[in-house]
Amino acid sequence: MGELLSIKNLKTYFYTEDGVIKAVDDVSLSIREGETLGVVGESGCGKSITAMSILKLIPNPPGKIVDGEIIFDGKDLTKATDEEIRKIRGNKISVIFQEPMTSLNPVFTIGDQIIEAIVLHQNMNKEKAREKAIDMLKLVGIPRADEVVDAYPHELSGGMRQRAMIAMAMACNPKLLIADEPTTALDVTIQAQILDLMRDLKNKTNTSIMLITHDLGVVAEMADHVVVMYAGKVVEEANVYEIFKNPMHPYTLGLLESKPILNQDKDRLNSIPGQVPNPLNMPEGCYFHPRCSKAMDICRREQPELCSVKDGHRVACHLYREVK
Amino acid sequence: MAELKKNTNKNVELKGAKKEDIMSPWKVVKHRLRRNKLAMVGLYTLLFMIILAIFGPIVQKYVFGITMEKIDLYNISAPPSLKHPLGTDEVGRDILTRLMYGGRISLTVGIVAVSISVVIGSIIGGISGYYGGVVDGIIMRLVDIFMCFPFFPLLLMLAAVLSDYKVDPKYRIYFVMIIIGILSWTGLARIVRGQILSLREQEFMQAAEALGLRDRRKIFRHLLPNTFASIIVSATLGIGSAILSESALSYLGLGVTPPYPSWGQMVQVATDYYVMQYEYWKWIPPGVCIFLTVMAINLFGDGLRDALDPKLKR
């Protein structure tokens, strides 16, 4: 399994009137072929911005990729021209958005929108593309696909729309599928179906998935490898078993503790005290130290670096520096 | 058993019919429009005018042998009679026939002028709204400048220039259409721009971007169709005002010139005191035609706006 995508020291900043917001600050991660990478973190920690940076979907201005490399298929996407990136979008890398209700254009039928993607990237004529669109809809488990293809988005339920979105994203057999909180807006049963579907598709087509979520349950179910982000930085990275069995960073620990567990007699869930710091006014040292129960002196002064503590398990915390 | 099967079949059909009903947004609009009686009156009046303008002259020519230029020397300035249901004008031409030809011209002016303004307005509004920033600033200032032009004096001036250059009366009407069209796109451009400004921030546009579409395609295939409702309403209402502009121009003798008739130009005879007082058949019919058509268009346009407004649920 070779590396499909590797992000090296990516920095995406937003230049606002109040100052520079470092939404993504020196993030490195990589996705191998056929692997599912879970990116976890609180709201506003830069998960989505990292993903959108890959396809240069950052609104510019105010956003800008300041530094770093995004190597996809041996090519640096940060240096790609608009024309090149356009050929990759929707073709080799597709995105599923969070809101299925608003991510489809209300004035076109589902079919029109899938066909558009296929015609654009695959040199197919309309009739063939239509057949392919129906096939894709069948593949994502939509009943009566040949009727739904002519339906408008408002006629479908949220789950159906999300399936249609996935069909659209998968229509060109992308190598990488970026799923930006694909199940957040859906109820739990539909959520499970959608996740099953994505896993099936992954196995069938050997597509890599970058799964952005704040739901650790989803991560446990789907991901092979997990990256935990906090305030624009990667704080911990390991494979999925390691993360759940042996979490190291206090933030990851906190996230895992704030998750409900069956058969446990507990009235309230634990929470991590405090909030994500204001990105305009980041604390000195480790960004997490004001909320960290294990904060030491050094945490207030020095920012920890991401170090390997075990094979494939990296963590950015001063607690583990000695271990190494 | 057979009956049961039949029943299920019927059910399926019913379901199909219901589905058909919610199929496209346009069907909803049609349904709502049908319930608006005033709008339907407008629509039918308008259709009647259009049919009269298209087929009337053909019937007159081939059934009664009357054309708009044919002069009946025995009946000059004759009041309505069986032979000339609306009388004749000062050179003995049949008023009814001229009215029909005038309708052709007035309606064509309205439709063509509005088409021009819709094309210009939606392209410019679309580009301005999509790119925003500096592009938007420049285009909107241009629109402001266009809006500052005193519309009517400018029309008069251009029409006077046309007269001076002795443009063939046959072609003058096209210039009138183009002039009205070019001067009236600004309002539409603003409407379209405003809508696109908010539409482009919608999630589906991010999704469209993630599909790798070009800007051109995003603006004209994905954004503009979302503004069709307001474009249609503003265009419908625009036809009415274009017809009025043309009538006013022709009334002042600067639009369509004889021998070609237009409603506005036919009303012009009322400037003569005698005609005004005694020869009512010369100016009332074209006046009524202008009134009815513009009224019908406005009623229909209003109804259309209500029908296309998704927030208005009754």
Give pLDDT tens digits for A13-28. Answer: 888 888 888 888 888 8
Binning pLDDT at 50, 70 and 90, where does residue B24 land? low
Averaged over B276-280, what is the pLDDT?
A: 79
Can you point out the beta strands (E) in B209-312? none
A168 and chain B in contact, CB less than 8 A: yes
Binning pLDDT at 50, 70 and 90, where does residue B123 land? very high
Residue B16 confidence (pLDDT): 44
Q: Which residues of chain A neighbour B203 with C-beta distances below 8 Å?
A: 97, 99, 102-103
Residue B2 confidence (pLDDT): 47
Give pLDDT tens digits for A141-154. Answer: 888 888 888 888 88
Give the DSSP per-residue string, A124-139.
Answer: --HHHHHHHHHHHHHH
Q: Is the pTM of this model over 0.90?
A: no
Give pLDDT tens digits for A202-219. Answer: 888 888 889 888 888 888
A289 class by beta-carbon count within 10 Å (0-12 exposed, 13-18 middle, 19+ buried): buried
B246 located within any domain? yes
Residue of A82, A103, A147, A172 for testing the chain B interface, max B β-carbons within 10 Å: A103
Range of the domain at B211: 26-74+82-308
Averaged over B42-60, what is the pLDDT?
A: 87
Q: Is the pLDDT of residue A321 over 60?
A: yes
Would you call B204 and A87 a contact, using CB atoms and an 8 Å cutoff? no
Give pLDDT tens digits for B217-245. Answer: 888 888 888 888 888 888 888 888 888 88
Please state, rounded to an integer, the average pLDDT across all residues of chain A: 83
Q: Please say whether the beta carbons of B117 and B184 come within 8 A.
A: yes
Q: Is the pLDDT of residue B13 over 50?
A: no
CA separation for the pair B114, B125 (Å, rounded) = 15
In chain B, the percentage of residues whose pLDDT exceeds 90 is: 8
Give pLDDT tens digits for B165-186. Answer: 777 777 777 887 888 888 888 8
Residue B5 confidence (pLDDT): 45
Structural domains in chain B (count): 1
- A165 vs B17: which has the higher pLDDT: A165
Residue with token string 């408008």: A152
A193 class by beta-carbon count within 10 Å (0-12 exposed, 13-18 middle, 19+ buried): middle
Provide the angle, in degrees to the nearest 10, between the axes of the packed helices B95-131 and B280-308: 30
Averaged over B32-58, what is the pLDDT?
A: 87
Binning pLDDT at 50, 70 and 90, where does residue B313 land? low
Q: Where are the alpha helices (DSSP H) in A43-187?
A: 47-54, 82-88, 110-122, 126-139, 145-148, 158-170
A177's enclosing H/E stretch is: strand A176-180
Residue A16: name the closest of A216, A214, A278, A226 by CA. A278
* 3-state SS, residue B121: helix
Q: Please say whether the beta carbons of A135 and A142 come within 8 A.
A: no
Residue B122: name the closest of B244, B4, B231 by CA. B231
- A127 vs A277: which has the higher pLDDT: A127
- B87 vs B104: which has the higher pLDDT: B104
B20 located within any domain? no
Residue B12 confidence (pLDDT): 43
Averaged over B186-192, what is the pLDDT?
A: 90
Residue A270 vs residues A188, A273, B20, B296: alpha-carbon distances, Å:
22, 9, 52, 68
* Residue A276, phi then psi, degrees to nearest 5: -60, 130
- A152-166, B118-132, B254-268: which range is least confident on average? B254-268
Averaged over B27-41, what is the pLDDT?
A: 83
Backbone dihedral region of A235: left (phi > 0), alpha (psi from -120 to 50 degrees) or beta? alpha
Q: Is the pLDDT of residue A9 over 90?
A: no
Residues B59, B64, B68: CA angle, nearest 5 degrees: 75
Q: Which residues of chain A neighbour B213 with C-beta distances below 8 Å?
A: 86, 90, 116, 120
Residue B248 confidence (pLDDT): 83
Residues 6 or more apart from B287 whose CB is under 8 A from it? Answer: B263, B267, B270
Q: Is the pLDDT of residue B138 over 90?
A: yes
Residues 6 or more apart from A314 whose CB is under 8 A from it? Answer: A236, A237, A238, A306, A307, A308
Give pLDDT tens digits for A120-143. Answer: 888 888 888 888 889 888 888 888
Would you call A120 and B202 a contact, using CB atoms and an 8 Å cutoff? no
Q: Which long-range contacts link A138-141 to residues 24+ away (Cβ below 8 Å)? A: A139/A167, A139/A170, A139/A201, A140/A164, A140/A166, A140/A167, A140/A170, A140/A197, A140/A201, A141/A193, A141/A197
B207 and chain A in contact, CB less than 8 A: yes
Residue B104 confidence (pLDDT): 86
* Residue A249, phi then psi, degrees to nearest 5: -65, 135
Structure tokens at A64: 């800008």
Residue A239: name the closest of A3, A31, A2 by CA. A31
* Residue A320, phi then psi, degrees to nearest 5: -105, 10
Q: Is the pLDDT of residue B3 over 60?
A: no
CA separation for the pair B72, A80 (Å, rounded) = 78
What sign results for the dihedral spanned by CA atoms B238, B243, B248, B254? positive
Q: Is the pLDDT of residue B311 over 70?
A: no
A159 and chain B in contact, CB less than 8 A: no
Give pLDDT tens digits for A92-126. Answer: 888 888 777 788 888 888 888 888 888 888 888 88
The reply to whether omega before B261 is within 30° of 0 (cis) is no
Provide the angle, in degrees to the nearest 10, between the axes of the packed helices B37-59 and B25-35: 90
In chain B, the percentage of residues whose pLDDT exceeds 70 is: 90
Q: Please say whether the beta carbons of B306 and B299 come within 8 A.
A: no
> Could you tell me which residues are beta bridge partners of residue A314?
A237, A308
Averaged over B299-311, what is the pLDDT?
A: 80
Backbone dihedral region of A34: left (phi > 0), alpha (psi from -120 to 50 degrees) or beta? left
Q: What is the CATH number for B147?
A: 1.10.3720.10
Would you call B212 and A88 a contact, using CB atoms and an 8 Å cutoff? yes
Q: Is the pLDDT of residue A320 over 80?
A: no
Would you call B225 and A108 a contact, using CB atoms and an 8 Å cutoff? yes
| Most confident region among A57-61, A145-149, B115-119, B196-200 by mean pLDDT | B115-119
Averaged over B262-280, what is the pLDDT?
A: 80
A107 and chain B in contact, CB less than 8 A: yes
Burial readout A127-161 (b: 16 or more C-beta within 10 A, e: otherwise):
eebbebbbebbbbbbbeebeebbebbbebbeebbb
Question: Domains, chain A, ranges and CATH?
Answer: 3-92+174-261+270-320 (3.40.50.300), 93-173 (no CATH)
Binning pLDDT at 50, 70 and 90, where does residue B137 land? very high
CA separation for the pair B299, B43 (Å, rounded) = 8
Q: Please say whether the beta carbons of B189 and B120 come within 8 A.
A: yes
Q: Is the pLDDT of residue B214 over 80?
A: yes
B208 located within any domain? yes
Amino acid at A150: D
B54 located within any domain? yes
Instruction: Tell me the shortest Cα–Cα distance from B221 to chain A, in angstroms.
Output: 10
Binning pLDDT at 50, 70 and 90, where does residue B116 land? very high
B221 located within any domain? yes
Q: Please say whether the beta carbons of B128 and B160 come within 8 A.
A: no
Q: Which residues of chain A neighbour B23 with C-beta distances below 8 Å?
A: 152, 155
Determine the distance from the C-alpha atom of residue B297 to the mean position of all C-alpha atoms in its chain, rounded to a whole number: 7
B15 located within any domain? no
Residue A238: name the closest of A223, A225, A248 by CA. A225
Residue A164: name the closest of A134, A206, A201, A126 by CA. A134
Residue B115 confidence (pLDDT): 92
Structure tokens at B225: 């169709």
Give pLDDT tens digits for A34-56. Answer: 888 989 888 778 888 888 888 88
Q: Is the pLDDT of residue B46 over 70?
A: yes
Determine the distance from the C-alpha atom of residue A262 to the mean position of all C-alpha atoms in its chain, rounded to a whole number: 27
Q: Is the pLDDT of residue B57 over 60?
A: yes
Binning pLDDT at 50, 70 and 90, where does residue B23 land? low
Q: Please say whether the beta carbons of B98 and B61 come within 8 A.
A: no
B12 located within any domain? no
B9 located within any domain? no
Binning pLDDT at 50, 70 and 90, where does residue A322 land? low
